[in-house]
Chain A
Amino acid sequence: MKVRAPALLAGIIVGATLSLIGSAAVAQPIKVGWLSSLTGPLSSAALAENEGVQLAVEEINAAGGILGRKIELLTRDTAGDPTKAVNFAQQLAFSDKVHFVIGPVNSGEGLATTPILARAGIPNMVIGSIDQLTDPKKYPRAFRVINTNMQWISSANDYALKALKRAKVAVIGDTTGYGTSSAKTAQELLEKVGVKPVYSVLIDPNKTDLSDEMSKAKAAGADVVMPWSAATGLQARLLNARGDMGWDVPVVGHPALMASQIRALLNKPEYWENTFAAGYVSTTYDAAGKLPPRTQELVDKMRPRLGGKAELDILFWWVAMGYDCVRIIEHAVKAAGSTDPAAVQKALEDTSRYEGIYATYSWGPEQRNGFPDNNMAVNIANTFKDGSFKLAPR
């Protein structure tokens, strides 16, 4: 009795202290860094993705957080500047000590920040499409959520060559970093299947008139034009040139061809016909005009937050992707049981067919690109309605 009382007392004290520490740890928020280019290039994409991220964070926090811990979102505007992105990545990693980083949006910034986050060992949800952003050896904790550039180019090439049965391709890129490398990749992929482009050119994205380039493409005998540029101005001018010269060649290429801003920049709405772009199953209407149920659910949730307009005017896959990034973090932490980076890495590597809204993701020990090929689709560009598109006919 006498010996046990102090031990019991000590046990109670230790137990109470541990549970206090434990609950303090449980109450510690999960910090998620969000490197977004809210101003500058690709800001429309970043703003839309931001909506998705914010919604997911709010939903999770309202439901009590992940494993009882709320998510604290730290947003940093990198304005498309890699030096700023590097500084903010460093700030998030070492000063704010975040547990996860989403982004950056621009591939150019991503190329600079991914090594830094890898060195700091912080799990990184990659949303840039350039293929070099993921590497299981160099960046073991970088997991890509978006599709790769190769997937965009391959599905477009596949549609042009197999579905439309064309053989004489004109490849058009712009003079930005993304444009030059995508045009090069497009050419390589075409040549791998034995198709040599009949015309290929790089155009300054602010060039005011593209009728010369389109005339040259026509003169070279092209029967399909494939533009790889994220600049909506350039895409609109290309379609205008095609329409003004009365050339009915199909245009198959980058998703920017489907952007809603293009409609306003076209001389005539008909110029948007016969245009197809790489897209996603998740944001494609089926034959009955219905979206996949999970996408529809998210659209309905987002509508009041995006101004309550009757029709959304942004590409919905951006929103869905931002939403999925946070949900994937939730999935990883739950599967790992903690925010320990190594456990999270293992949890994500073991993830197979995780059903998000934007796609059904699978990663692996040697696979850091989670977007499956069969979630890619090709859409008819001018069927934009409420953020999604119709499937291109085969």
Chain B
Amino acid sequence: MKKSATLVVAGLLAVTFPIWAGDQYQLHLAALIAVFWVLIGGLNLVVGYTGQLSIGHVGLLAVSAYTFSILAGTQGLHPAIATAAAGALCGLFGLLLGLPSLRLPGFYFAMATMAVALIVGEFIMANDGLTGGGIGLAAPTFPTPFDSPAGFYYLVLALAALVTWLTWNVARRMWGRGLVAIRDQPVTAQAVGVPVFRAKLKVFVFSGVTAGVAGAVFASLQSYITPDTFVFELSLFFFVCIIIGGRGSIVGPLIGTVILTALPELVAPLAKLGNFFYGLLLLAVVLLVPEGIGRVFEVISERLRPRHIASVPVSPDLPRLARALGARR
């Protein structure tokens, strides 16, 4: 009851944000958070629920950002069609990447995904006729009413809400439990009939599609994309948001995304020491609250309002038991 109330309040705050936001910069930051969440929400199923160490999603982001910019910009297609095409292409990419890699054990899969991200980077640079090479491409804005900052914010907010709703549905139903089973005890999961490989592949493709959509709106938000934007550190950033938020939760990674995107802006005055403190914060969170921030909220809410587990005293009906035992003899 309380949880849904907080969700409703948070939702209202998000929807009315353009009204009480300070300025366009904060609106831009909020839109960036929403765009990242579209990708991270899908990735959450892969990393947080299924436990796959996927650290190459920046490659998918890059593919879809360039696809969007080429289709909607150079080729002149409608941005909505370009977004759908980018999503579909990245889903296909996810399928092609997942088929050989998902059978590999944890660290190997991580390195394979990281390596693919690097390949995408090289490919972008090498085909400068198509992608503009080092110069990059301009990305078009969406047509009205989405071309104003507030309009675009509502567009990405709607997409983020859609992704949240989809992943929440998956998480709380049997699928979600199957994924968690794969993460924690893959052998047992297989023994009880969870289709391990197919489930992993399906969520991976889904995360590819969300990455595709995220890349398209990301390009539009940045209005100009260059290969320097899609560095490996961004992939680690996505991964970190999920782990810090807490695996096995939807709200946790969402909070993680909000905090980690806003954080560099807050420590902006630190200038040179910024990245160092980012690493330090990461280490601190991993050592002190390894279950993630989601868990911290759970612990706090337990403290504030402990769940009353009604204790039902067991009083056996002794005479009846005696009769039954007597009858047995």
Query: Which one, B26, B125, B228, contacts A81 given CB within 8 A?
Result: B228
Assess the B28–A130 pair: CB atoms within 8 A: no
| Residue numbers in A under 8 Å from B304 (CB-CB) | none
| Residue numbers in B under 8 Å from A84 (CB-CB) | 264
Is B80 positioned at the interface, with any CB of A under 8 Å from its CB?
A: no
Is A298 positioned at the interface, with any CB of B under 8 Å from its CB?
A: no
Assess the B231–A81 pair: CB atoms within 8 A: yes
Assess the B223–A116 pair: CB atoms within 8 A: yes
Q: How far is the CB of A341 from chain B (nearest CB, A)?
A: 16
Assess the B274–A93 pair: CB atoms within 8 A: no
Assess the B271–A177 pair: CB atoms within 8 A: no
Assess the B133–A82 pair: CB atoms within 8 A: no
Is A296 positioned at the interface, with any CB of B under 8 Å from its CB?
A: no
Assess the A80–B125 pair: CB atoms within 8 A: no
Is B292 positioned at the interface, with any CB of A under 8 Å from its CB?
A: no
Q: How many residues does chain B have at the interface if contact means C-beta atoms less than 8 Å apart?
A: 35
CA distance A366 to B134 in the complex (A): 26
CA distance A81 to B274 in the complex (A): 12
| Residue numbers in B under 8 Å from A79 (CB-CB) | 274-275
Is A338 positioned at the interface, with any CB of B under 8 Å from its CB?
A: no
> Contacts A39-B272, A180-B133, A184-B128 known; A91 to B25 CB distance under 8 Å?
yes
| Residue numbers in A under 8 Å from B26 (CB-CB) | 94-95
| Residue numbers in B under 8 Å from A81 (CB-CB) | 228-229, 231, 233
Which label, helix, strand, loop or mixed, suits the secondary structure of the A interface?
A: helix
Query: Which one, A88, A95, A184, contacts B22 given CB within 8 A?
Result: A95
Is A87 positioned at the interface, with any CB of B under 8 Å from its CB?
A: yes
Q: In this complex, which of B122, B125, B135 has the most chain A Cβ atoms within 10 angstroms of its Cβ?
A: B135
Assess the B224–A177 pair: CB atoms within 8 A: no
Query: Which one, A111, A119, A177, contacts B125 given CB within 8 A?
Result: A177
Is A86 positioned at the interface, with any CB of B under 8 Å from its CB?
A: yes
Which label, helix, strand, loop or mixed, suits the secondary structure of the B interface?
A: helix
Is A178 positioned at the interface, with any CB of B under 8 Å from its CB?
A: yes
Interface hits, B213-233 → A, CB 8 Å: 222-229, 231, 233
CA distance A177 to B136 in the complex (A): 9
Assess the A180–B228 pair: CB atoms within 8 A: no
Assess the B134–A87 pair: CB atoms within 8 A: no
Closest to B237 in A: A83
Q: How far is the CB of A184 from chain B (nearest CB, A)?
A: 7
CA distance A363 to B222 in the complex (A): 29
CA distance A178 to B138 in the complex (A): 17
Is A109 positioned at the interface, with any CB of B under 8 Å from its CB?
A: yes
> Contacts A81-B231, A84-B264, A90-B25 known; A112 to B32 CB distance under 8 Å?
no
Closest 7 CB pairs of A and B: A177-B134, A77-B271, A108-B228, A94-B25, A94-B24, A95-B25, A94-B23
16 of the cross-chain contacts (CB-CB < 8 Å) are A38-B271, A76-B268, A76-B271, A77-B274, A82-B222, A82-B228, A90-B24, A94-B26, A97-B23, A112-B226, A112-B229, A175-B125, A177-B136, A177-B226, A177-B227, A180-B133
Known contacts A38-B272, A94-B28, A115-B224; 10 further A-B pairs (Cβ under 8 A): A76-B271, A79-B275, A82-B222, A87-B265, A88-B268, A94-B23, A112-B223, A120-B24, A130-B135, A181-B133
